[in-house]
Structure 1
Amino acid sequence: MKDKGFTTRLVHADRTLNQPQDGAVHYPTCNSVLFEYADVNELVDVFQGKKLGHVYSRSSSSSNSALQNILNELEGGVGAVTFSTGMSAISSAMISLLKQGDHIVVSQFLFGNTRSFMDTLINLGIEVSFVDTTDVKAVEAVLSDNTRMVFTETIANPVTQVADLTAIGQLCVTHNLLFMVDNTMTPAYLFDAKDVQASLLACSLTKYVAGHGNVLGGAIIDTGLYDWQQYPNIFSLYQKGDSSQWGLTQIRKKGLRDLGATLSPNSAQQISVGLETMALRIQRSCQNALRLATYLHSHPKVANVYYPGLADHPQHFIARELFKGKYGGIFSLDLKPGLDLNTFLNSLRTVITATHLGDTRTLALPVASTIFYENGPQERSKMGISDEMIRFSVGIEDIDDLVADFEQAFAKI
């Protein structure tokens, strides 16, 4: 299927990769918690990692394996692990791979919940440096002998800063560091993680992958570019067999199994079905977002628009190169001072006020008073977040209807 187009591969991936029985085109949901073995020796081999198989659905199931196969195929990796949410994917991977005394470098523009988790790591004795990942020199400046990982999002939420992924990836290769990238905003249709030397991908499957706001999920995907034999934190118990699997094995054992953030079989099947239309949805969202951002950029009641597709965005040219000429479905704006943000949001009729993104529907949210409220004024200022900022996740509606909705809401303020 690798010679086929992106959407063709997606539509047929479940059928061709997982080969469901009886002519089904989707792999069936397996709700069994336990798995029987006629020969106890085979069960022992699966437990000890000598043979592939399922022993308990907290750790693995055929439904999750089917989804993992599709996600891994899209990224051209060596394996994937699914989780109940995107946050559980990030937290499980980091807790599995880091230990007290390690140092990691992360973006200072991280999404609120991910930023909050960094405080948890600090409390566990892991050093965390927050830097501007749009500048590779800022990353390089804080590297030390105990640095193990660099972590950033592709496009930051909500101010849309674009990390200098190519330069950071090369820096990580030079210093033998894990390069973990959250590509939730830019799934495989928009972004080829292997082009920037990413080691691990973290993704909230809840967003663009599933796409319809009806199921939670997350994933870690190993691109196969990192040599786990060089990583000092792999337990000796997991240093067996193919070394390309050592990192994922440790994440499965110490993260998924021990922490227990398992993706349900029903959710895995739902995500697989939603995934089939990902390219079509993202393409329409990107088109709508660019049209809206361009329209709002010159609107008299808008002070600033933050969208990588606009020529005056600081990382516009980096984004154009990284994301195949598309710029994602997220943008933010600042209303002019003195205009009532809440009145504007309450006046929208087609656009929904809700905390989510990557949906088929266009969504809006006041940033400072909701998802970044806990960060406080000083930290929000460092991130470029104003009190007047509204984040929009643009859906697949007809663009004329969206513009009309903005116009009537602006008239109310």
Structure 2
Amino acid sequence: MTNHQFTTQIVHADRLGGAEHGAIHKPIHTSVQYGYEKVEDLIAVFQGTAKGGFNYARQGTPTTAALEAKITQMEGGQGTIAFATGMAGICAVFLTLLKAGDHVVASQFVFGNTNSVFGTLADLGIEVTMVDVTDAANVAAALRPHTRMVFVETIANPGTQIPDLEGIGALCQQHGLLYVVDNTVASPYLFRASSVGAGLVVNSLTKSIGGQGAALGGAVTDTGLFDWSGYPNIFAPYRKGDGKGWGLQQLRKKGLRDMGGTLSSHAAQQLALGAETLTLRMERTSATALALARYLEAHPAISRVLYPMLESHPQHAFARKHLKAGSWLLSFELRDAAQCLPVCNRLQLPIKATGLADSRTLIIPVAHTIFWEAGPDVRAAMGIADGMIRLSVGLEEVEDLLADFEQALAGA
């Protein structure tokens, strides 16, 4: 199937991977325990010397394994681990691959919950320096002898900043650093992080890949580009056999077995079904978001629109170079910040809710909700104004959304 296109591979993955009884989807495996005829076979699974196999569902099931195979295929990687949520995956990366005394360089525009995790890392003795990653020179200036990792998001939420993905990748390769890219907003359809040298790719499966706001999930994919044999934080029990698998093995053992961030089989199948329509949804929502962005940019009540495919976007050149389209995330600012809540309330189609990449358009005032806890100083550093509104554009017809915004903004 490697000679077929992106969606063709995904929709036929289960049946060609050997689904039972000729089924076109992998079944939901609910068993927690997995038994073997010989105890030696069980030992091989425990010690990681067996090719495949399951022992206890906290480390995965045949259903989560099928989803992992799909994500690996999407990202063009060598392996994936599924987690209960995207944040579980991010925490596993940080807490299983970093130690006290290590240093991380991260984007100053990261998702609010990720920013909160950085505070936890600091309490554990892991230092994080946050910089403007739209210029790789800022990352280079922040590097230290004990820097282990660089962490960025393909498209930042909510400001839609795009890092110098290629420049940072070259920098990480030069210094032997682990380059971690959160690809949630772009999705592996619009962008493959391996193309810029990322070693690990994070996806919140809840969002682009699942796509319907019906199941939580996350994934970490190893692209095969990072040399784990030279990484000092791999525990001795995992330094066996092919070094290419050391990173994922430690993530699975520590992130799933020890920390318990396990994805259920029921959620895994629902997310796998959502993945089949990823291409269609990303193309539709990207086209609608661009049309809406152009409309808002021309409206007198709007002071600024943030969408990567607008020519006015500060990183538009990066977007055109790396992305197939702009995705579903769109933010804008009202000239009169006092109109922020009234405009949201006058809109009839967008649902006033947190979350992203649902089938339905979602709207939220940013400073009052998802970045309220961060405080005004952090918001200012991230470019989040009091009048900023975030949209997650859904599958509605663009004409209906445009008409709704027309009436809602008339009073502004």
Q: CA deviation at 1:14?
A: 1.9
SS in 1 for 2:59: coil
SS in 2 for 1:334: strand
* Residue matched to 2:384: 385
* Residue matched to 1:161: 161
The 5-angstrom pairing of residues 14-413 of structure 1 reads: 14-16=14-16, 18-51=17-50, 52-324=52-324, 326-337=325-336, 339-413=338-412
Deviates more, 1:44-53 or 1:62-71: 44-53
SS in 1 for 2:313: coil
Give me the whole-angstrom Cα distance separating, in 2, the residues matched to 1:320 and 1:213. 28
Q: Which amino acid aligns with 1:283?
A: E
Give me the whole-angstrom Cα distance separating, in 2, the residues matched to 1:152 and 1:19. 36
Q: Which runs of 4+ in 1 moved over 4 A?
A: none
SS in 1 for 2:144: coil
Give me the whole-angstrom Cα distance separating, in 2, the residues matched to 1:133 and 1:38. 53
Give me the whole-angstrom Cα distance separating, in 1, the residues matched to 2:218 and 2:390. 22
Give me the whole-angstrom Cα distance separating, in 2, the residues matched to 1:11 and 1:61. 20
Deviation by residue 1:172-219 (Cα, 9 ceiling, x = unmatched): 000000000000011111002111000000110000100000000000
Q: Is the 8 A contact 1:14 1:272 kept in 2?
A: no
SS in 2 for 1:371: coil
Q: Which amino acid aligns with 2:106?
A: V
Q: CA deviation at 1:412?
A: 3.6
Q: Is the 8 A contact 1:58 1:260 kept in 2?
A: yes
Aligned CA RMSD, in angstroms, stands at 0.9
Q: Is the 8 A contact 2:337 2:386 kept in 1?
A: no
Normalised by the size of structure 1, how large is the TM-score?
Answer: 0.98
Give me the whole-angstrom Cα distance separating, in 2, the residues matched to 1:67 and 1:175. 33
Q: Taking every aligned residue pair, what percent have the same amino acid on both sides?
A: 51
Give me the whole-angstrom Cα distance separating, in 2, the residues matched to 1:338 and 1:8. 46
Q: CA deviation at 1:339?
A: 4.4
Deviates more, 1:403-412 or 1:364-373: 403-412
Give me the whole-angstrom Cα distance separating, in 2, the residues matched to 1:339 and 1:59. 49
Give me the whole-angstrom Cα distance separating, in 2, the residues matched to 1:242 and 1:267. 31
Deviates more, 1:205-214 or 1:32-41: 32-41
Q: CA deviation at 1:411?
A: 2.2
Deviation by residue 1:2-29 (Cα, 9 ceiling, x = unmatched): 211222112112222x310111000000
**Structure 2: tracts of 5 or more residues without a match:** none
Q: Which amino acid aligns with 2:323?
A: F
Count of residue correspondences: 411
Q: Is the 8 A contact 1:34 1:56 kept in 2?
A: yes
Q: Which amino acid aligns with 1:332?
A: S
Q: CA deviation at 1:144?
A: 0.9
**Structure 1: tracts of 5 or more residues without a match:** none
Give me the whole-angstrom Cα distance separating, in 1, the residues matched to 2:208 and 2:106. 23
